[in-house]
Structure 1
Amino acid sequence: MIYFDNAATTAPFKEALQTYMMTSERYFYNTASIHQSGKDAARLLEAARGQILDLMDLKNYDLVFTSSATESNNIALQSMLRRKKPFGKTILTSELEHPSIVNVLEEMKQDGFTVKYIKTTESGTVDLSHLRTLMDSDVVFVTVMAVNNIIGSVQPIQDIILILQDYPKVHFHVDATQAIGKADIDYNGADTMSISAHKFNGVKGAGGLFVRDLATLKPVQYGGGHEYNVRSGTVNLPAIAAMAKALRLTLSEARLVNQRLKDYNLKIRAAVKDLKAVYVQPKDAPYIVNVSFIGAKGEVVVNALSKRGIAVSTTSACASKLATLNETLLALHNSDEVIEGSIRISMGRTTSEEDVEQLITALKEVYEELGDVLK
């Protein structure tokens, strides 16, 4: 199977797997234990924490280890909104967010909060002018993802930070799950930021929440007080150590990988641009191409490609089984037919030119196979 679903998850680096296994064998101890072996494990945990903060150039932040970006997003949103409630009830977010943001905000409406959506430009980024018009004294929380998981649009994080400097009571959260190694973004100035190891060739089960002011966070679940009493539960030290290794390797090769994927991205777009019933979404981050077969269903195209040994997806893997139109594609004012016929092609560090050639051949074969179905 030729894999074009890297936005859903990535294959771990061999070195990350080796780190995971070594840590599991030599440092299986509980980092909260006070005996010498526990202390050794705790030192390794802190070394990983320091390395990740250094690699991300967030030395003035703290890092809370979690199990996933979904957990990180939930901690940031639920914890901060409970704290902010006495000071205002308005939350601003983009129309492009992941379900782990959107579903929490929907729940917060039940607690008296109002959620307002920042408009989206034609290129798939947040409309900064509209954001400025939405800002007022009742706004207490803004959350915008760094790179969109459906079309790969890169958001103007530093521009948003500059706007929010005039509103000191506002907490700014960034979901950077899709961005690591794929977009050169400065996160300094954001209040919290979430990542997930398996999106950048680490192993599943490790995530992180970067926090500018740790004292502002309170736990959303209670236990033994691990991770600064923000995220209780025995830490997954092997996965965290592997995450640090994967992050170092990812960032060390990011520039070369992204240039190669940019070339592949352009090649795929050029190959399908003259197919009459095909629509391609705007381009930004190099690793995603979102293509619609107008008149067909995305699931049909995915299955047809799968039979040819090509793995792609419809929308985000976390929402692909939901019978709703994708929010990102709706925000870009796509028709229902374009949205229903969309597939996401997402490349990664191991994607080769031969893989791309086989994908292009398969896309054209599926196009001919669908024939009269397409419009």
Structure 2
Amino acid sequence: MIYLDNSATTKPYKEVLDTFVTVSEKYFANPSSLHSKGGEAEKLLGQARKSIAQLLEVAPTEVVFTSGGTEGNNIAIKGIAFQHQNRGKHLITSSVEHASSHESFQYLESQGFEVTYLPVNHDGLISLEDLERSIRPDTILVSLLHVNNETGTIQPIQEIGKVLKEHPKIFFHVDNVQGVGKVDLPLKEWGIDLCTISAHKIHGLKGNGILFVKNGVSISSLFTGGEQELKKRAGTENVAGIVAMAKALRLILQEMKEKKENLSEIKQFILEELRTIDGIDINTSVEYSAPHIINFSVKGIKPEVLIHSLDKRDVYVSTRSACSSKQGGASRILLEMGLGENRASTAIRLSTSYGNTLKEAELSLKILKEELINIKKVMR
């Protein structure tokens, strides 16, 4: 099996699975319970929070546990909007956000908020000038992806943070679900107030996530019914999943230090091979993208046909965000980049992890070329 759909989800580390099983068996009590077993679970939860805070170089009181990226984005965006709407109802985002953010902003528009959707260029990048021109006295939030989930484009978060330092009343939220463990993002140095992370994108388990909320930033809670998670997210914590997530974060950050060049080497090889194939357009920016995501279009071939052909030969890729892949039609992201209907409706995404090898990349490209020939024969 050659698994190249790591932006949809990653295979959990064995150590993560072992940790989850151990904690589930030994520390199954509710961490809010007053008895000793509850106290043991609460202590373990606190240790995981402290460990994650150290890895992210933030304070433990700034770590809020969620069910994943979608919830984290919803809490951050809606939480800021509703909490601070008396000061202003203008929000800024980009036209190429993940669906969980994009649809949150659409919902807020229905609630009387005004949203500016910054356009992007052919590389998928926003313009800092556009951002500065969009800022108004009633702007309360700027929310942007760090690494685009379809194309891998890296937004200039550091520069955006510098712009927003001139506007200290505007909150800055970054969706870093695709960037963690692949691209550096110093939260404090770059002026970020809120940041979303998902466990299953870093070889943790589905159903766990982190929302960094800078100390002093107040948000309206979307969930009520308990005082868990610093009163920001009610509900019994998934202690086993959270402890496993702490381990996953530590392991992937270690791999990032040791193997990041391997990812870049694999990406470079794949790009070079794709350029030799007739009828393929590469949609991922070479200069401004993360080392693990490659997006390309195949002229005249439906992506689902190619995906199923590769699937039969144990090569697994995707079309776009897993949240949107079953919708069909053209990619909203590629359309916003100005790449046209044809490229946007025939796009394929390859996404690697530190577990992939150059040998796998070589074999997968060989299979891809063979399957393209077979498909074209059938189409004649």
**Contact 2:61/2:230, CA 8 A, preserved across alignment:** no
8 A Cα contact 1:157 1:187, kept in partner: no
1:256: Cα distance to partner? 2.9
Conservation of the 8 A alpha-carbon contact between 1:64 and 1:227: yes
The CA distance in 1 between the partners of 2:333 and 2:233, in whole Å, is 31
What displacement does 1:60 show?
7.6
TM-score relative to the length of structure 2: 0.95
1:3 shift after superposition:
0.6
1:269 to 261, 268, 271: 271
Stretches of structure 1 that go unaligned for 5 or more consecutive residues are: none
Aligned to 2:79: 79
Aligned to 1:128: 128
Q: Measure, in 2, the Cα distance between the counterparts of 1:218 and 1:111.
A: 15
Return 57-66 or 80-89, whichever deviates more: 57-66
State the distance in 2 between where 1:187 and 1:299 align: 38
Distance, in Å, in 2 between the alignment partners of 1:359 and 1:94 is: 34
Q: How does 1:90-239 map to 2 (within 5 A)?
A: 90-188=90-188, 189-213=191-215, 216-239=218-241
What TM-score do the two structures reach when normalised by structure 1?
0.96
Cα separation, 1, equivalents of 2:255 and 2:119:
34
Query: Is the 1:60–1:212 Cα contact (8 Å) retained in structure 2?
Result: no
Mapped to 2, the partners of 1:324 and 1:140 lie a distance apart of 34
1:214–1:32 distance in 2 versus 1, CA, 3 Å: farther
Does the CA-based 8 Å contact 1:290-1:342 persist in structure 2?
yes
**1:138 Cα offset (Å):** 2.2
- Report the more deviating stretch, 35-44 or 242-251: 35-44
- Aligned-partner SS, 2:183: coil
Note if 1:293 corresponds to 2:298.
yes
**Matched residue type, 1:256:** E
Segments ≥4 residues shifted beyond 3 Å: none
Verify the 8 A CA contact 2:30 2:236 in the aligned structure 1. yes
* Alignment pair present for 1:314 and 2:319: yes
Residue 307 of structure 2 corresponds to residue 302 of structure 1? yes
Looking at structure 2, the residues matched to 341 and 256 of structure 1 have their Cα atoms a distance apart, in angstroms, of: 35
Counterpart amino acid of residue 263 in structure 1: E
1:324 Cα deviation (Å)? 4.2
Question: 3-state SS of the aligned residue for 1:143?
Answer: strand
Give the drift of 1:372.
Answer: 7.2
Question: Is the contact between residue 63 and residue 211 of structure 2 (CA under 8 Å) also seen in structure 1?
Answer: yes
Displacement of 1:157 in angstroms is: 1.2
- The residue that corresponds to 1:21 in the other structure is 21
Identity %: 37
1:278 aligned onto 2:283: no
| Cα pair 2:76 2:173 within 8 Å, conserved | yes
What is aligned with 1:331? 336
Query: Which amino acid letter does the alignment assign opposite residue 310 of structure 2?
Result: L
> What CA distance in whole angstroms lies between the structure 2 residues aligned with 1:310 and 1:183?
26
Q: Is the 8 A contact 2:118 2:130 kept in 1?
A: yes
Deviations 1:11-61 (A, max 9, x none): 111111111111111111111011112111111111110111110112386
Does the CA-based 8 Å contact 1:325-1:340 persist in structure 2?
yes
3-state SS, counterpart of residue 84 of structure 2: helix
> 1:369 deviation in Å?
2.2
* Alpha-carbon separation, structure 1, partners of 2:293 and 2:306: 17
Query: Following TM superposition, by how much is the alpha carbon of 1:371 offset from its aligned partner in structure 2, in angstroms?
Result: 2.6
Q: Secondary structure at the match of 2:5?
A: coil
Q: Which amino acid aligns with 2:243?
A: A
Q: CA deviation at 1:123?
A: 2.5
Task: Answer yes or no: is the 8 Å Cα contact 2:177–2:196 preserved in 1.
Answer: yes
Partner amino acid, structure 2, of 1:321: K
Task: Give the number of equivalent residue pairs.
Answer: 375
Opposite residue 178 of structure 2, the aligned amino acid is Q
- The separation in 2 between residues aligned to 1:26 and 1:8, in whole angstroms, is 31
Q: 1:213 Cα shift?
A: 3.1
Asked if the contact 1:158–1:187 (Cα under 8 Å) also holds between the matched residues in 2, the reply is no
Shift of the 190–60 alpha-carbon distance from structure 1 to 2, 3 Å rule, reads farther
Amino acid at match of 2:339: N
CA contact (8 A) 1:295 1:373 kept: no
SS in 1 for 2:144: strand
Q: Unpaired segments of 5 or more residues in structure 2?
A: none
